Structure 1
Amino acid sequence: MKKYFKLNILPYILYFLVKFIYSTNKKVFHHSKVSSDEAFIFVAWHGDLLAQPTNYFKFRPNGNVKAMISHNKDGEIIAKIYALLGTGLIRGSSSKGAAKALISTIKEIKNGCDVALTPDGPRGPRYTIADGVVAIAKKSNAKIIVLNSKPSKYWQFNSWDKFVLPKPFGRIDFYLSEPYSIEGLEFDEAKEFIKDKMMINAMS
């Protein structure tokens, strides 16, 4: 019964909570001007996951995006919430189903679909860059766009990712960077480059 509640009822409760929270906050978007309609790799920190469907669909109201979500229990909940928010799914992570997820993600980009990744997910450490995002960018030749959000009032959980849940009736600043290319960078250089860009508007 507990497992059924967690996987089949809790996601709907959280979905309506998220909708309520984001509808009551003043939303301010700091989006770079991106003229291209090519497929991009969107990256966000794991602790900032809930804000990013709102951020992405402001940028591309009719966009087609698929997020890589892990197969663990928390991933199942996030996957259902993301599906309710209009985001497609690619199942897998750097630790489970990695090869299959990598191939699927590259195929989606080649077919013109945006993809969303959390480079420090699903298990951290916080604010680290896993190899997957670099491998996907190099093999697909897709540019990377960084997504961040900063709420004025929020709860921050004592989890490894310091997960952030905005409080109602505040202000949320959403950030969307210009597209970045890692072409010509060595693997470790690319990881450091991506991290530097993701930290510009990251929560402390």
Structure 2
Amino acid sequence: MKLFFVTRIVPFFLQLFVRFVYLTNKKNFHHPKELKDDVYIVSFWHGELLMQPFNYQKLKPKGKVSAMISDHKDGEAITKTVEYLGIYSIRGSSTRGGTKALIGAIKELKGGDDIAITPDGPKGPRFSVADGIVAIHKKTDAKILAFNCKPSKYWQFNSWDKFIIPKPFGVIDFYVSEPFSVSELDMPQAKEFIQNKLLVNAMK
């Protein structure tokens, strides 16, 4: 009964709340002026993930994106919530089901669909970048986009990722970087470059 509540009931009402927050906020989109119709690796910090489905849908209204979500029980509620918001899922992370997730992400990109990844998820440290995003990028040559979401009014959890929930009736600034590549960099350099891109408009 508890599992049903967490994976079915909670996500349904959570996605309704997320939609309400989005609708009642003023939105400013800071997106690339021209974006090629290519496949992309969408990246954003774990603490800013809640409103990112809307950021993606504004950027690519006809696009399909699958998010890499941790392969554990806690990830189930997130999976169901983002499914309600039009985001598919690839189960697995750097700590659980990593190989399965890596293969799934490469398959999605080569099939013509985008993927989304939180480089510091599922357990941090906050604002760190795991190897996965670099490995996927170098295997597929898909360029990376850095997504950020900055609400003017929000609640912030005292969790490792300082998870942010925007409040209704404020202003949300959505950011998407120009596409970039780190294929010519070694692993430490690539991770630092991605980190810096994601920190430009990050919620501190």
Query: Common fold, TM-score beyond 0.5?
Result: yes
CA apart distance, 1:7: 1.4
Structure 1 residue aligned with 2:48: 48
Structure 2 residue aligned with 1:101: 101
Structure 1 residue aligned with 2:154: 154
Contact 1:34 1:179 in 2 (8 A): no
Residue type of the partner of 1:53?
Answer: P
2:60 aligned with 1:63, yes or no?
Answer: no
Determine helix, strand or coil for the equivalent of 1:41.
Answer: strand
Residue type of the partner of 1:137?
Answer: H
Structure 2 residue aligned with 1:17: 17
2:163 aligned with 1:163, yes or no?
Answer: yes
What are the within-5 Å matches in structure 2 for residues 2-151 of structure 1?
2-151=2-151
Structure 1 residue runs of 5 or longer lacking an equivalent are: none
CA apart distance, 1:104: 1.1
Matches of 2:88 and 2:11 in 1, distance apart?
16
Percent sequence identity over aligned pairs: 58
Matches of 1:37 and 1:147 in 2, distance apart?
17
Q: Cα RMSD between the aligned structures?
A: 0.8
Determine helix, strand or coil for the equivalent of 1:107.
Answer: helix
Determine helix, strand or coil for the equivalent of 1:121.
Answer: coil
Contact 1:69 1:89 in 2 (8 A): yes
TM-score, normalised by the number of residues in structure 1: 0.98
State the Cα deviation string for residues 103-125 of structure 1 (Å, max 9, x = none): 11011111110000000000111
Determine helix, strand or coil for the equivalent of 1:123.
Answer: coil
CA apart distance, 1:179: 0.2
Structure 2 residue runs of 5 or longer lacking an equivalent are: none
CA apart distance, 1:4: 2.1
State the Cα deviation string for residues 166-204 of structure 1 (Å, max 9, x = none): 000000000001000112100100000000000000001
Contact 1:68 1:115 in 2 (8 A): yes
CA apart distance, 1:33: 2.1
Matches of 1:28 and 1:35 in 2, distance apart?
18
Matches of 2:4 and 2:17 in 1, distance apart?
19
Residue type of the partner of 1:48?
Answer: E
CA apart distance, 1:73: 2.8
Determine helix, strand or coil for the equivalent of 2:188.
Answer: helix
Determine helix, strand or coil for the equivalent of 2:161.
Answer: coil
Determine helix, strand or coil for the equivalent of 2:96.
Answer: coil
State the Cα deviation string for residues 143-183 of structure 1 (Å, max 9, x = none): 10000010000000011100000000000000001000112
CA apart distance, 1:62: 1.1
State the Cα deviation string for residues 20-74 of structure 1 (Å, max 9, x = none): 1111000110001233111000000000011110000000111111111112233
TM-score, normalised by the number of residues in structure 2: 0.98
Matches of 2:143 and 2:155 in 1, distance apart?
32
CA apart distance, 1:101: 0.9
Determine helix, strand or coil for the equivalent of 2:37.
Answer: coil
Structure 2 residue aligned with 1:187: 187
Contact 1:152 1:171 in 2 (8 A): yes
